[in-house]
Amino acid sequence: MRCLYCHDVIKEEITLITLFTKNEPLCLTCRAALSFKYPGERCGRCHQLVRKKADICADCHVLIDLYPAVNKIYTATDYNEEIKMLMHRYKFVKDYALSEVLALLISFNFKCYDYVVPIPVSSARLKERTYNQTSAVMRAAGVTYTNMLGTGKMKRQSELLKHERLSSTNPFYLLENVKDMSLSGKSVLIADDIYTTGITVHQAADVIKDINFQNIDVFTFSKTQHI
């Protein structure tokens, strides 16, 4: 078997445990590099590195004031150098197979939510890339998801400064098939690929709250660090 990421042959010692478990197509070296999290104190909400440990960091206070709908935030790994290279290959070189690598990094109980909703991409971006990078990972991980949001946004968030993101018009809207739904008492998990400033997922939650979800949480594959 070859590693899905580096393509080296995976040499696994045969033991009683490995005889009865499914082999993982990701070598230990790649898993360690992709799962690496920077050491240090963290915000208890968004997992941003902070100089002094805090339940809620300054950035989260700003976001909560603007978009209070989000409850908890979960991330699989940091946006480390290896993840950065993977995301470049996955999103811009169109290496679709890397969706399986990202799926292998996820250890999360999606089944405790009534709905999992991926952040959408615009029709123009979908035509350019041919797939939604978040939905593809959900499929690879065997997660059932529901498309509830649409967007006309074309400019990448990475091209905007922080104050431009904060002042930008909310680019998301509810799809026609869910506009009249009332999901009182239900829980939803909004999924995205990268948490940078958090504005994208908070804006999505601000729209999706209109169909009365009792609880809105967020899950992203990676979290950028800026300290």
Confidence band, pLDDT 50/70/90 cuts, at residue 190: very high
pLDDT for position 78: 98
Ranges 11-15, 39-43, 125-129, most confident: 39-43
Do 99 and 4 lie in a common domain?
no
Per-residue pLDDT at 18 exceeds 80: no
What distance separates the 2 farthest-apart alpha carbons in the chain?
57
pLDDT for position 30: 97
Do 71 and 16 lie in a common domain?
no
Residues of the chain above pLDDT 90, percent: 78
Whether residue 145 contacts residue 103, with contact meaning beta carbons closer than 8 Å, is answered with no
Do 29 and 45 lie in a common domain?
no
Mean pLDDT (whole number) for 187-200: 96
Do 90 and 57 lie in a common domain?
yes
For the domain that residue 187 is a member of, what is the CATH number? 3.40.50
Do 17 and 82 lie in a common domain?
no
Per-residue pLDDT at 227 exceeds 70: no
Do 110 and 199 lie in a common domain?
yes
Q: What is the mean pLDDT of the chain?
A: 91
Angle, vertex CA 109, rays to CA 91 and CA 52, nearest 5: 75
pLDDT tens-digit map of 77-114: 999 999 999 999 999 999 999 999 999 999 999 999 99
Do 101 and 29 lie in a common domain?
no
Mean pLDDT (whole number) for 51-60: 94
Angle, vertex CA 113, rays to CA 216 and CA 115, nearest 5: 80
Residues of the chain above pLDDT 70, percent: 89
Structural domain span for residue 11: 1-34
pLDDT for position 81: 96
Confidence band, pLDDT 50/70/90 cuts, at residue 15: low
Do 23 and 95 lie in a common domain?
no
Do 146 and 70 lie in a common domain?
yes
Do 44 and 149 lie in a common domain?
yes
Angle, vertex CA 193, rays to CA 155 and CA 98, nearest 5: 110
The total of structural domains in the chain comes to: 2
Does 38 or 14 have the greater pLDDT score? 38
Do 204 and 148 lie in a common domain?
yes
Do 198 and 137 lie in a common domain?
yes
Residues 6+ positions from 39 with CB-CB distance below 8 Å: none
